[in-house]
Amino acid sequence: MASPGCGTLVQEWLEKYIIMEDITLLNLSSTMTISCLAGPKAISRILSNAPAGLIADSVSAIDWSQLVSQIALIPPDPGPAGLTYLVGEHGLLEREVLPWLASLGVVMLPSEVFAAHRILNGIVMPGVDASENENPLESPLRDHVSFSKGCYIGQEVIARIDTYKKLQRALRPLVIEGPTESCLSAGKLYQGGTEVGYTTTHARYPGPWRQIAMGYIRIGVDTGSLEYLDPTDGSRHSAYVPKDATW
């Protein structure tokens, strides 16, 4: 299973290493849906209310060939911001799962609200906040990287960067003092006229902050005095990493 929107990329990557083996890879992304539930009680709420036989309650119990009749429940990462993933065939989710979740009082979050949730809790979205252009050690994904396993693709690079402390940038939460009428877009970050990073995800936020974001910032830069360049109109806005940021 690949992250949303990354199926084709993963398939192309795996096919590079299929040389003599008789293996065929099928990308089922167009027939499947991945939905996520936020909150520490997501799993217990689902399992205590799910119709019998609808959901496999552990990854090992999943029959991946039968997802037209069953939903796979992927446990979340530890912590209150962990996301529980539900994976299944399009029609099944629409016919049974969404109405059932609505009956439990589950609220469908607008994309911008979900973006704010991700920013506040350091949840990286593949293809948005993490790609082949970034190193996982630069973001909260570091917790998912093994430093004890050997011989996986990229392991030597990971080990070298960690050993010699060669990270050049880090993904951080940001407050941007911009307009509140609309959500800002991913753009570049500057300090004293020098480019020092870029943002990836933005969201409006009720309260004194107004606009929040996450972005990659060069290590060693004073994160309390940055400038964000809006790519849509060329305007510049003050930006900073909150002093009480938890990630």
Query: What confidence score (pLDDT) does residue 65 get?
Result: 63
Which pTM does this prediction carry? 0.82
Confidence at residue 35, expressed as pLDDT on a 0 to 100 scale:
79
Q: Quote the tokens at residue 40.
A: 């520490």
Query: What does the pLDDT read at residue 190?
Result: 98
What pLDDT sits at residue 215? Answer: 98
Confidence (pLDDT) at 221? 95
Residue 45, CA distances (Å) to 21, 88, 100, 178 in order: 43, 19, 12, 39
Q: How much is the pLDDT for 67?
A: 59
How crowded is residue 41: how many other Cβ atoms within 10 Å of its Cβ?
Answer: 11
What gap in Å lies between CA 227 and CA 224, rounded to an integer? Answer: 10
Q: Average pLDDT for consecutive 10-residue bins of the chain (247 residues)?
A: 81 90 88 77 75 64 61 63 72 79 82 91 90 90 84 85 89 90 93 97 84 96 96 95 91
- Model pLDDT, residue 68: 59
Say how far apart CA 78 and CA 56 lie, in whole Å: 20
Q: Could you tell me the strand order of the sheet in which 55-56 lies?
A: 32-38, 83-89, 71-74, 55-56
Specify the pLDDT at position 145.
Answer: 87
DSSP 34-53: EEEEESTTHHHHHHHHPPTT
Residue position matching structure tokens 């911001």: 81
